[in-house]
Structure 1
Amino acid sequence: MKEIAPTRESFAEIGAATDRLLTGLTGLRDADVHGPSRLPGWTRGHVLSHLARQAPALERLLEWARTGVETPQYADRGARDAEIAAGAGRPAAVQLSDVRERAAHFQHVIETLPGPAWQATVRPFTGELCTPQRILVIRLRELELHHVDLDIGYGWHDIPASARHIILADVLSYYAEAGGVPDFTLRDSEGELLGRIGAGGPVVTGTAANALAWLAGRSGGTGLGPAAALPALPPWL
């Protein structure tokens, strides 16, 4: 699974993704927040509640790394889902304030985490053993993908190349380790290699943005080709 070093540049990448999200949320009304997102069964309020609640959940893993005391991200999936649902119906102003404050606190925590803690071993909700360096990838991924999921004018091609490169590598690493994934090679529109699963299979071509949408389960392969050669992928996460 993808990890990134806890550098000034990594922290700035997460801070910039947060700023883009908060800028996009400016002016949202209650009716907008209660309207549907691009995720089936979730309103924009569900997405915002998830982003707000995810920050302290990831901080629990960072506390685990700092102290050595096991502190799970969530008690279980039911507790996670209940937290999201509980906050989904709040007014827009409350939602936005929550996202902003939680994101600011998370940014402070990562920027002040002691050096040795970054080499500790923790286990996120998804089950893999990793260092807190993976938590930086998870937060960046969630900020960017859910910004698109909110359906507020931010699309796959709006994700900056630096962030998209990290997220695409993370999603590809998931498929490389998952079972039942057919072989394929992924290349961008200029023929540059984006990733490879297995040793054979079809060559899928298109923009990195369209490839990420497809791999993340948000697209059936729009903009990628040849359409007849697109492999059927198992669900991501």
Structure 2
Amino acid sequence: MVARQVLATDPAVLADLAAARLGEAAFRRELSRVDDAGFDGPSLMPGWTRRHLVAHVGYNARALSRLVVWADTGVETPMYASPEARNAEIDLGSTLRPQALRSLAEHAAIELDVRWRDLPEDRWAAPVRTAQGREVPVRETLWLRQREVWLHAVDLGAGLRVRDLPEEFLARLLPDVLGAWSRRGEGAGLRLVSGQRSWGADAAAASSVVCGDLPDLVAWATGRASGPTGDALEWVGEGPRAAPRWL
């Protein structure tokens, strides 16, 4: 039997699909390092056990699959009925047995990958709406899933660190975080600097300049630093301070 091929031909889409699959593999690898008893332990997400985290990652794949169906059929299919429904789903999922949670994460990821594989080339620009209410082309689901699996692979607390994530991913993530701050009117006057690269406010308008390695900047900006003010960072001007909320 001939294997079915990805219908997309856009090189940028194909590159993002490959990156999303790499992130999925990283999450599976980290999850395999957690034994069943470890599911009851805390994740690095405040207030969540690993049970909650794995349920969330699985249900996120299902939610993104709904967006791909929306793009494919033209029938509006939101990620979640409501924020409350999303939270209730995670809470309920966290009560599943470890093997059921492993199966949920694996099978939901496979379903999402199949949806991406079978989406026709002319549908990748179709508009859908994220859980935050932003209208984006469905190709954005590839990036949303990359964020999900890479960061939550770290949040499993099985050994992977932000510093271990691909530099290309980190360099794309940081302006994404700053963009979320800007849309909410937060983070004004912040300038982040790593070597010759910088993000955020222009040098003349910056009231706080945060300097450090890219992984340390990302860890601070996403709330995953060793301390709320980023212990490994150097601050110039106002600060140090905790990063604004990202999502």
Do these two structures clear the TM 0.5 threshold for a shared fold by scoring above it? yes
What code does the residue aligned with 2:97 have? P
Asked whether the 8 Å contact 1:187–1:194 carries over to 2, the reply is yes
Rounded to whole Å, the distance in 1 between the matches of 2:173 and 2:39 is: 26
Aligned to 1:18: 24
Aligned residue among 21, 30, 36 for 1:30: 36
Aligned to 1:148: 154
Q: TM-score, normalised by structure 1?
A: 0.90
Asked whether the 8 Å contact 1:36–1:43 carries over to 2, the reply is yes
Change in CA separation of 1:178 and 1:18 when aligned onto 2, cut-off 3 Å: same
Aligned residue among 75, 80, 86 for 2:86: 80
Rounded to whole Å, the distance in 2 between the matches of 1:34 and 1:41 is: 12
Aligned to 2:198: 194
Matched, 1:90 2:101: no
Q: CA deviation at 1:222?
A: 2.5
Asked whether the 8 Å contact 1:184–1:231 carries over to 2, the reply is no
Matches within 5 A, 1:98-113: 98-113=104-119
What code does the residue aligned with 1:115 have? E
Q: CA deviation at 1:231?
A: 4.8
Asked whether the 8 Å contact 1:119–1:132 carries over to 2, the reply is yes
What code does the residue aligned with 2:134 have? E
Rounded to whole Å, the distance in 1 between the matches of 2:119 and 2:17 is: 12
Aligned residue among 49, 53, 62 for 1:56: 62
Aligned residue among 225, 229, 233 for 2:234: 225
Q: CA deviation at 1:21?
A: 1.2
Rounded to whole Å, the distance in 1 between the matches of 2:221 and 2:201 is: 12
SS in 2 for 1:151: coil
Asked whether the 8 Å contact 1:46–1:87 carries over to 2, the reply is yes
- Alignment RMSD, CA only? 1.9
Rounded to whole Å, the distance in 2 between the matches of 1:122 and 1:140 is: 18
Which consecutive residues of structure 2, in runs of 5 or more, have no partner in the other structure?
A: 1-9
SS in 1 for 2:192: strand
Aligned to 2:245: 235
Rounded to whole Å, the distance in 1 between the matches of 2:139 and 2:14 is: 13
Q: CA deviation at 1:5?
A: 7.3
Change in CA separation of 1:21 and 1:233 when aligned onto 2, cut-off 3 Å: closer
Change in CA separation of 1:167 and 1:213 when aligned onto 2, cut-off 3 Å: same
What code does the residue aligned with 1:203 have? V
Asked whether the 8 Å contact 2:31–2:156 carries over to 1, the reply is no
Identity of aligned residues (%): 33
Rounded to whole Å, the distance in 1 between the matches of 2:50 and 2:88 is: 16
